[in-house]
Structure 1
Amino acid sequence: MTDLPNNNTSHPDSKKVLLQASLTENIKIIKKDLGNSNDIIIREILAGKSKKQLISIIHTDGLANETLITDSILESLMLDLNGDLETKPTEINQYLKDYCLTVSDVKDIVDFTTLYSALLNGDTIILFDGLTKGIAASTKGAKDRAVSDPATESVIRGPRESFTETLRTNTALIRRKIKSPNLWIESRVIGEETKTDIAVMYINGIANDKIVQEVLDRLDRIEIDGILESHYIEDMIRDSKSSIFPTVYNSERPDVIAGELLEGRIAILVDGTPFVLIVPALFVSFLQSAEDYYHNAIVSSFIRLVRFFGICISLVAPSLYIAITTFHQEMLPTPLLISIYSQREGVPFPAFIEALIMEIAFEILREAGIRMPRMIGPAISIVGTLVIGQAAVQAGIISAVMVIIVALTAICSFLFPAYGLSNAVRVLRFPLMILSGMFGLVGLMAGVMMIILHLCSLRSFGVPYMSPFAPLILKGQKDALILFPRNSLLTRPRLISQRNNVRGRKHPDKTKRNVH
C-alpha cells in the first residue's frame, strides 16, 4: 500500500485527525485503520448532471439498515442531484442535507475519530472528492431481540415485557411508562475499544441533583477497555466494593424501573444488556417484588412477611440445626430429640460435616442445572437431588432430618426476588455454619450481629443501606416489611428524593376543580 501523509496516518482512536480533500486518500486511511475488514462496505458513485462529482458511501454490514440506505441515500444521490453541483461544489454538503437526504438525523464530520464512531454505530458515511467535510446519516438497523416475557422476574399479574439488548428500545419502553417531559436522559460512551453507549435516566424535579451529579462523575472516572455487561458498570460505581451485599439494584422489567424513577432514583442503561441498573439501592429493594404492588395491600403484606421469614430460614436454618444438635440438645422436646438421634445413630459424621456435605452437593447440583442445556437441566437437577439424597440416607452417610433441612433451605433460597442478594446469602451460610459448629448459638448470634452491623455501615450513593430501618423512618415503614394501601403511599422516600416528596402534587393553578 502507498505510504500515506504523516499528518493523517493514525490509529482509529487518534484524536482530531482531519479528513483530507482527496477522497482516494480518505478511503485508503479508512481501509488501513480498519484492517481492510470485509464488513465495511464502500460504494463509490459519480453524481451530478455531467457525472463528474465522485462520492463515496460507506457503511458497516449488519449494523446499518440496507433498505434505508438504498431508499433514502443512494436513490437521492444518483437520481435527485442536479447540475448545481458543477457550479458550486463546496456547497454540496449543505445541498444534500437540505434537499436530498430523507433520513431523520444527519450531522457533519470533519475528522476520522467522529467518522469511525458513527460508522461503527450503524450510521452511513458520505464523503466527497474535493471536500474536507463529510456527512454521517443515521441508518442504524442492527438486528435485535424482540421484546419478550421477563426471564428472571416472572410475575402472575403485571406487564409481560422486558428489556432487550438494544439501548434505544429500552429507553422507549421506559418512556412508554412515563410520558413526562421531565424524564431526562444523559449519555456517555465508556470503553476504549467497545465504545459502549450508556444512558442515565432520571426525572428532573424529583431526583436529587447531588446524586445525579455523583452518578455522572463516577461514570466519567471509569477507565476500561470494554463494557460487555451492566455488571462492569455496577462493579466500578458501587460504594463498598469489598462488601458481598449488592448496593446497586438491577432489573429487566420496565415497570420496575419506572416505579424506581418515580421514587427519585436514577437508572443506568447499558447498550448490549437487558439489565438496567438503579441507584441508590436499599436493602429492602432487593426483598420486594413488582407483583407486590399489583395485589391487595393485605395480601401483598402477607406475602412479604412470608418471603422475609423464608429468607431468614435460608440464611440460618443449617446453622441453627448444627448449633442445637451439637451444643444445645436440651432446647429440643424429648420425643423430637430421640427421633433425631435415632436417625443419626448410624451417621459417621458430626452435624457440621453432614450439613457441609449436603450444602456443597446442592450448590454443585444447582450450578450444574444452570449450565446444562435448557431442555435437560431442570430434569437432571431434580433427579440428581432425589437420587443422591435418597441414596445418601439409605447408605447411612446423611440423616433424613438433614436432607429435610437442606431441602427447606434450598426452597427458601428461591424466594429472593433479586438474584444478587440471593448469592450473598448463599455464601454467608457457610461462615455461619462454621461459627455454629465451633461455638453453638453464641457463634450463630455473633455471626448474625456482625452481618447486621456490616449492613448498617453500608451506603449507596450516600443513602444508608438499611433505611428506613436504620435510621428509623416511620413514614418509610408503609412500604418496607408490610405494604400500606395505595392511597396511604403519599410520599416518596425522604432520604432518596428530598425534592417534591409528595406524590401527585399538582400545580397550584390546577388544584381546584371546575364544578358545573
Structure 2
Amino acid sequence: MSTVSSRIEVNEAYLREQFHNCSDIVFRSFQLQDDTKLLLVCFDGMTKLQGVEENVLKPLIFNGLPQGIDRIQSLEEIFGREWLPLTKVKTDVSLKDLTNHILQGSLAILVDGEASALVAQLQGFETRGIQEPRKEATLRGSKEGFVENLRTNTTLIRRRIIHPQLKIESYTVGKYTQTEVILAYIQGLAEEKVLGEVREKLGKIELDGVIDSAYIEEWIENNSFSIFSQIQNTERPDIVTAGLLEGKAAILVNGTPFALILPVTLWSGLQSADDYFERFIFVILTRMIRYIMTFVSFALPALYVALSTFHPEMIPSYLMIGIATARESSPFPTVIEVLIMMFVFDGLQEAGVHLPNQLGPVVSIIGALVIGQAAVEAGIISTPIIIVISLTGIASYTIPRYSATLPFRLIRYLLLFITGVLGFVGFAFGMIFLLIHLVMQESFGTPFLSPVAPFDGKRIKDLFIRYPFWSKNGRTKKGSP
C-alpha cells in the first residue's frame, strides 16, 4: 500500500502499524453531524494543537461544513481556505510522505471518503532562545548566535541580507534522522563551480544519522586526513553574513547551532570578528601580535630545545648560565621536561573544557599554579621550562577560533619530537614539510595559503592590514570576520 486510501480505517491501520510501540503518538477520531469520520494524527509534544482545537475541531463538530455563496465540497477545501489560511498546508497522497511529515512534527488530517491527507505544519516543540555565542564572544558587534532550530537560523541571516538573490536550498540527509540541511549563498556572488561541487557531495552523503554539522563537514571536505580543516564553523550569524557577501557558501544543519562556511583559507581561522568592529588603526597592531603569537604557540618549545640542547652558543652567555643553573637539579633531559609540561598543560586545558562552567577555570588555574610550583620545588622541572610552556599556552589563546588552535597543538608535538632528535636541522625540516602541506592544500578550489601563495596583491591588502571600509572598492574577496 503506497497511497492514501479513501477508507479512513485502512489509513489508520497503516499508520498504527508504522508507529507501533510509539507511546507518544496521538490518534484522535471525530465524527461530524453528517456522520463523516475525521482522524488527526500527530506526536505529543511536537505539534501545536491549541489553535486547531478552538478554531477547527469545535466548529466542525457542532456546526458541520459551513456553506455560503460558494459551496464548499470537501474538508480539504475548508481547511485550506477557511481555518488554516496562515499555516503552510500540504496535500499528501503518498503514505510514505505522510509518515515523514508526522515524524517531523506536522499534523495529519484524514477524512473518510477522501483519498488524500491534509498536512498542516504546526510544529510546536520547545526550542532554545537566541543567546550570545560563548566560544566567539566579541567586545563589539551583534550578541546574537545561532540556535538548534533551523528556521530561526535562516531568519537571522535573512534579517541581515534583505535581497532576493539570497538563495536557500534544502536537502534531507540521514537514513533515520532525516535531517534537513540548508545550503545558503548569494546568486551572482558565489561561484557556480563551488556550488556545483557542494551540491554533488551533499547528494552523495550516505549516513544513518546526522547529529551535528561536523558529520557534514567530514563528508564533504576535500582532504579528511589533513590536520587543517578546509571548512570554517561558527555560531555567529554576522560571520556567516560576511562570508556570503564575499561570495562564499554556508551550510546550516537542523539541530545544531554551528554553521559551516566554505571555501576558507588558513588566515580565516586567525581573524576575529572584532577586527571589523574596532578602528582599523588598532586592528593593524592586534593582527601583527596575533600572527606572531600563533607562530610562538607551536614553535617556541621546539626552538627552546634546539637552542638550549644543540646550539647553546647562540644564547647569550649570562642567560645560558642562568638556564644551566636552573636545570642543574633536573633529572630529565630538556626535551623530556618540555614534553611532560606540555602534556600536563594540555590535560589541564581539556579538564577545564569538560568540567562544569563554575569549576573549569578554578581547576585550570589552581592546577597550573600548584603543579608548576610543586614540580619546580621538587627539582623535577626547571623554572625556564615553566616560563616557556606558560608563554606557549598564552600564545595559543590569542587565536580567536578554538578549532583553529587544534592543528597547531599537534604541530607543537611533532616539531618538538623532530627537533629533540635533530636540533635546528629537524626544526627546519619540520617547517619545510608544514609549508609544503599548506601549499598543496585547497578548499573547494581555493588555495589554502591564498592570497599569499599564489600571490594576489588586490586581496592581500586585507590580510595583514585592515584598511578602512571607505578605501575599499566593491566587494572584498578575502577578510571576513
Q: State the TM-score, normalizing by the size of structure 2.
A: 0.96
**SS in structure 2 at match of 1:65:** coil
Output the amino acid matched with 2:448: Y
User: Could you tell me which of 400, 404, 410 is aligned with 2:393?
Assistant: 410
What is the CA-CA distance between 1:373 and the residue it aligns to? 1.7
Once the two structures are superposed, residues 239-278 of structure 1 have per-residue CA deviations (whole angstroms, 9 ceiling, x without a partner) of 0111010100111011111001000000100001101000
In the alignment, which residue of structure 1 is the partner of 2:200? 217
**Matching of residues 44-83 of structure 1 within 5 Å:** 44-47=29-32, 50-79=33-62, 81-82=64-65
User: What is the SS of the residue equivalent to 1:125?
Assistant: strand
Q: Counterpart of 2:288? A: 305
Percent of matched pairs sharing the same residue: 37
Change (3 A) 1:405 1:77: farther
Secondary structure of 1:126's counterpart equals strand
| Aligned-partner Cα distance in 1 for 2:168–2:420 | 52
Any stretches of 5+ residues in structure 1 without a counterpart? Answer: 1-7, 9-16, 497-516
The Cα offsets for residues 430-464 of structure 1, whole Å up to 9 and x where unpaired, read as 11001110111111111011111101101111111
Could you say what secondary structure the match of 1:177 adopts? coil
What amino acid maps onto 2:15 in structure 1? I
In structure 2, C-alpha distance between the alignment counterparts of 1:76 and 1:427, rounded to whole Å: 67
Which residue pairs with 2:364 in the alignment? 381
Alpha carbons 2:246, 2:478 under 8 Å: kept:
no
CA distance 1:193–1:156, change in 2 (3 Å): same
- Aligned with residue 488 of structure 1, among 461, 464, 471: 471
Could you tell me how far 1:220 is from its partner in structure 2? 0.4
1:329 aligns with 2:347: no
Q: Does the residue aligned with 2:74 lie in a helix, a strand or coil?
A: helix
Note if 1:352 corresponds to 2:352.
Answer: no
Residue 13 (structure 1) aligns with: none
Structure 1 residue 376: Cα displacement: 1.1
C-alpha distance in structure 1 between counterparts of 2:66 and 2:144, whole Å: 52
Q: Distance in 2 between matches of 1:203 and 1:82?
A: 46
Distance 1:75 1:279, change over 3 A: farther
- CA distance in 2 between counterparts of 1:486 and 1:76 reads 60
Structure 1: distance between partners of 2:64 and 2:119: 18
Alpha-carbon separation, structure 2, partners of 1:495 and 1:390:
45
The residue number in structure 1 matching 2:13 is 28
Partner of 1:3: none
The 5 A counterparts of 1:151-170 are 151-170=134-153
* Alignment match, 2:168: 185
Q: Who is 1:509 aligned against?
A: none
Contact 1:150 1:160 in 2 (8 A): yes
Which one of the candidate residues 106, 109, 114 is aligned to 2:97? 114
Range moving further from structure 2, 68-77 or 274-283: 68-77
8 Å contact from structure 1 (residues 76, 101) kept in 2: no
Residue in structure 1 matched with residue 113 of structure 2 by the alignment = 130
**Among 203, 219, 225, which residue is 1:242 paired with?**
225
After TM superposition, give the deviation of residue 493 of structure 1 in Å: 5.4
Tell me by how many angstroms 1:232 deviates.
0.3
Q: 1:73 to 1:283 in 2, by over 3 A?
A: farther
- Paired residue type of 2:103: L
1:78-477 superposed matches below 5 A: 78-79=61-62, 81-82=64-65, 91-477=74-460
Q: Which moved more, 1:231-240 or 1:116-125?
A: 116-125
| Alpha-carbon offset, residue 495 of structure 1 | 9.1
Q: Provide the secondary structure at the position in 2 that maps to 1:58.
A: strand
Encode CA deviations 1:301-349: one digit per residue, 9 max, x unaligned: 1111111111100010100001111100000001100000000000011
Shift in Å, 1:51: 3.6
Partner Cα distance (1:51, 1:422) in 2? 69
Q: 1:76 to 1:248 in 2, by over 3 A?
A: farther
RMSD: 1.9
Contact 1:68 1:139 in 2 (8 A): no
Q: Distance in 1 between matches of 2:55 and 2:472?
A: 51
SS of 1:470's partner is coil
Q: Is the 8 A contact 1:62 1:142 kept in 2?
A: yes
Deviations 1:444-502 (A, max 9, x none): 11101111110110111111111000100001112112211112232445699xxxxxx
Q: How far did residue 354 of structure 1 move?
A: 0.3
* Alignment CA distance shift 1:298-1:79 (3 Å): farther
| Structure 1 CA distance for aligned equivalents of residues 452 and 230 of structure 2 | 16
1:63-87 deviation line (CA, Å, top 9, x unaligned): 11232333454345435642779xx
Paired AA for residue 271 in structure 2: Q
Q: Aligned pair in 2 of structure 1 residues 392, 348: CA closer, same or farther (>3 Å)?
A: same
Unaligned runs of 5+ in 2: none
Distance 1:76 1:321, change over 3 A: farther
Whole-angstrom CA distance in 2 between matches of 1:329 and 1:491: 53
Which amino acid in 1 is paired with 2:277? Y
Structure 2 SS opposite 1:206 = coil
Conserved? CA contact 1:81–1:100, under 8 Å: no
